[in-house]
């Protein structure tokens, strides 16, 4: 698991008092609770007790005043200790919960928790609130829903009798780090949150001979560096840090919060060397698997086909589950063991896949990626902590492929598999000293093809609607997962209600079916409905409309229209939506609407209208061209999607309901309906 850089919310900031007061030092004791333990001890001698800001910052409308956030780290040859002091003053009833309910996470496999102080100040009077017998240790396994078990324990402290305008001061330290990282230090710290903080400080002390590299992100603040007693110290401190207002629909790599990064890794080659030491395993595989692989080699000379077989085996026959205790958080299990027990996490599956491909004569490597930071890894100092996922890469016929053993719903050749947009990867091979860029080939891009047919037998009876939707690439894989994890009744209800937002009188006629093309990573879904009042009466006329509804979600505006953050848009996406109205007889058709084309830097859209042989066909094509819109480009992007939104609905009016009558085609911009569809 990676460290978390720049959390946006101050969770459990239990901050301190306005006056500098001290209770008597706590006694050094150990307490055992629920099979785990923690200690109480006086403040460590190396800790520098921080002063509060002289002038409290402005805090209108806040639930609590955050007086201090102080993190200090002491690095030694034997390991590291992280000291934290956090201080809050509740100003509203909601702020009482933030001050009085404390949670501290630590991993007992390699860390120990020590509580130093828990004081409350009321009207200048200080009270010791540290009651070890009231501390509860709970193993929650917050990532268990993701099939990950890491052994993290939460110390829960409920401070009693906290009132408005009290100040709560908590100080504790956590000693130890995961031994899988060896003796090299790396970490990151926030210096800004979504609430103002009166004073934020980071202090790191290390032996003078240890070379630490630092980088400030989203801030001009540089460290104050001190040397004394054979040690070097880095300190970042600032007062009255403003609140950072987050915005919706930002790219996952966008990090608006200021902070600092510290690492002893100078180059990516150093990280590769660390990773190589973990991925060295005995390549022995079970005899049963070796026999299968030999049979494959005898049957199939094509290396792409062999790669697809190997990937499918790892995806489908080894279920995803990770027991990430201690070093197992980053050290993969032996591939033979993974296959025999038939479960493993991403790194276990990657190691097994690399080993299988090697047995098949195909050279492949594990690759570290960040699902959270993606391309933003470019802006970071090299560090093992940046990565939270492992995939596999191989090169065949001069083309590089990226394979994910945890993607269970992929089908087809490796040329058509969806590629998650991780953007950057560190390939684990000897001497690798740069991040690789993950390219998504056009053949692997997501696409949706919708064909709607509205069959009209008469203008006063229900219209039959048949819908055939073909999904390709990543979106096909997502839809396979949807069909696999929902019941037929749930699927039918969801699909019908999607159309009911457009045609309220719709009813489902048959079961919804899904069929797979196992050679092309394609899923086809077929739906059948009837609509009671598709044709609306308007005096002597009849009116009906069709909507390119599958495009609407991709042109939805964000909640924050005027923004300072970049806007993420789905990319690469290609959508074709065709609606065909089949009339009961031939009609005279006059199309008064020209074809529409909207082409720019971010999207490409076309709409065409045709009539022939009783069929009126409205066809929309949409594709995204970029994955992000920068703030200065928003007006251009909004203008483009507004043009598209204004053409998605097509209304047709049939006059006098007589054969060979006239039909006037026109566009109605019913944005309310489109917005309803977009938010489905």
Domains 29-264 and 278-442 share a fold: no
Mean pLDDT, the chain, whole residue set: 89
CA distance 303 to 458: 57
Tens digits of residue pLDDT in 151-203 = 889 999 999 999 998 999 999 999 999 999 999 999 999 999 999 999 999 99
* 104 strand-pairing partners: 155
Mean pLDDT of 622-647: 96
Tens digits of residue pLDDT in 409-438 = 998 889 888 877 899 999 999 989 999 999
Mean pLDDT of 504-514: 95
CA distance 466 to 455: 8
- pLDDT of residue 578 exceeding 90, the answer is yes
SS3 at position 15: strand
pLDDT score recorded for residue 3: 36
Mean pLDDT of 370-374: 92
SS3 at position 581: strand
pLDDT score recorded for residue 442: 58
Token pair listed for 251: 């790219």
CA distance 167 to 129: 12
pLDDT score recorded for residue 128: 95
The residues, ordered by sequence, that sit 6+ positions from 632 with a Cβ below 8 Å of its Cβ are none
- pLDDT of residue 6 exceeding 70, the answer is no
CATH for 278-442?
3.10.620.30
- pLDDT of residue 22 exceeding 50, the answer is no
- pLDDT of residue 679 exceeding 70, the answer is no
CATH for 29-264?
2.60.40.3140
Buried b (16+ CB within 10 A) or exposed e, 616-628: bbbbbbbbbeebb
The residues, ordered by sequence, that sit 6+ positions from 291 with a Cβ below 8 Å of its Cβ are none
Q: Are 349 and 402 in contact (CB under 8 A)?
A: no
The residues, ordered by sequence, that sit 6+ positions from 445 with a Cβ below 8 Å of its Cβ are 472, 473, 572, 573, 574
Domain boundaries, the chain: 29-264, 278-442, 446-678
| Range in 22-31, 65-74, 519-528 the model is least confident about | 22-31
Quickly count: other Cβ atoms within 10 Å of residue 361's Cβ. 10
Helices 303-317 and 287-299 cross at an angle (nearest 10°) of 150
CA dihedral 158, 164, 169, 173 (to 10 degrees): 40
SS3 at position 3: coil
pLDDT score recorded for residue 11: 41
CATH for 446-678?
2.60.120.1130
Q: pLDDT band for position 56 (50/70/90)?
A: low
pLDDT score recorded for residue 61: 81
């Amino acid at each position: 698991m990676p460290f978390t850089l720049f959390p946006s919310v101050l969770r459990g900031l239990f901050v301190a008092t306005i006056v500098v007061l001290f209770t008597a030092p706590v006694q050094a004791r150990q307490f055992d609770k629920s099979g785990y333990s923690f200690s109480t001890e006086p403040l460590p001698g190396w800790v520098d007790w921080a002063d509060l800001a002289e002038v409290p910052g402005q805090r209108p409308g806040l639930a609590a005043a955050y007086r201090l956030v102080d993190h200090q780290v002491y690095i030694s040859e034997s390991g590291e200790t992280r000291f934290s002091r956090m201080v809050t003053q509740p100003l509203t009833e909601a702020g009482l919960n933030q001050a009085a309910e404390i949670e501290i996470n630590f991993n007992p496999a390699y860390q120990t928790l020590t509580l130093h102080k828990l004081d409350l100040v009321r009207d200048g009077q200080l009270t010791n609130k540290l009651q070890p017998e009231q501390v509860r240790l709970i193993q929650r396994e917050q990532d268990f829903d993701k099939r990950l078990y890491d052994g993290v324990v939460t110390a829960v402290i409920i401070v009693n009798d906290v009132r408005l305008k009290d100040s709560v001061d908590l100080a504790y330290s956590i000693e130890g780090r995961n031994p899988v990282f060896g003796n090299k230090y790396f970490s990151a710290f926030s210096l800004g949150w979504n609430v103002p903080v009166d004073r934020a400080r980071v202090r790191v002390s290390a032996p003078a001979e240890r070379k630490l590299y630092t980088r400030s992100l989203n801030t001009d603040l540089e460290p104050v560096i001190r040397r004394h007693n054979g040690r070097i110290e880095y300190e970042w401190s600032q007062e009255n840090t403003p609140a950072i207002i987050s915005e919706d629909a930002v790219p996952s790599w966008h990090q608006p919060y200021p902070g600092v990064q510290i690492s002893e890794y100078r180059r990516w080659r150093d990280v590769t060397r660390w990773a190589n030491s973990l991925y060295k395993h005995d390549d022995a595989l079970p005899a049963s698997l070796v026999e299968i692989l030999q049979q494959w080699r005898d049957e199939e000379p094509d290396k792409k086909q062999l790669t697809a077989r190997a990937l499918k085996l790892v995806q489908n026959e080894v279920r995803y589950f990770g027991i990430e205790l201690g070093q197992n958080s980053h050290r993969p299990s032996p591939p033979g063991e993974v296959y025999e027990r038939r479960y493993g996490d991403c790194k276990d599956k990657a190691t097994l896949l690399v080993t299988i491909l090697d047995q098949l004569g195909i050279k492949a490597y594990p690759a570290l990626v960040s699902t959270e930071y993606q391309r933003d890894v470019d802006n970071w100092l090299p560090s093992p902590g940046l990565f939270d996922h492992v995939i596999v890469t191989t090169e065949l016929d001069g083309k590089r492929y990226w394979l994910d053993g945890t993607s269970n719903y992929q089908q087809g050749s490796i040329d058509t598999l969806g590629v998650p947009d991780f953007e950057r990867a560190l390939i684990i091979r000897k001497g690798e000293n740069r991040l690789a860029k993950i390219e998504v080939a056009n053949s692997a891009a997501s696409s949706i093809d919708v064909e709607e047919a509205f069959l009209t037998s008469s203008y006063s009876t229900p219209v039959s609607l048949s819908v055939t939707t073909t999904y390709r690439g990543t979106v096909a894989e997502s839809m396979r997962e949807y069909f696999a994890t929902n019941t037929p009744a749930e699927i039918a209800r969801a699909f019908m209600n999607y159309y009911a937002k457009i045609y309220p009188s719709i009813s489902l006629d048959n079961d919804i079916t899904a069929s797979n093309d196992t050679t092309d990573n394609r899923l086809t879904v077929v739906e059948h409905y009837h609509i009671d009042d598709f044709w609306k009466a308007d005096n002597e006329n009849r009116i009906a409309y069709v909507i390119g509804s599958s495009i609407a979600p991709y042109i939805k505006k964000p909640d924050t229209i005027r923004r300072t953050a970049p806007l993420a848009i789905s990319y690469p996406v290609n959508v074709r939506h065709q609606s065909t109205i089949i009339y009961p007889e031939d009609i005279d058709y006059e199309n008064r609407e020209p074809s529409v084309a909207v082409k720019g830097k971010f999207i490409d859209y076309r709409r065409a209208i045709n009539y022939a042989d009783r069929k009126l066909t409205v066809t929309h094509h949409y594709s995204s061209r970029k994955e992000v819109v920068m703030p200065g480009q928003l007006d251009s992007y909004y203008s483009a999607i507004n043009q598209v939104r204004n053409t998605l609905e097509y209304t047709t009016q049939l006059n006098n309901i007589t054969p060979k009558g006239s039909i006037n085609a026109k566009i109605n911009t019913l944005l309310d309906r489109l917005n309803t569809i977009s938010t489905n």
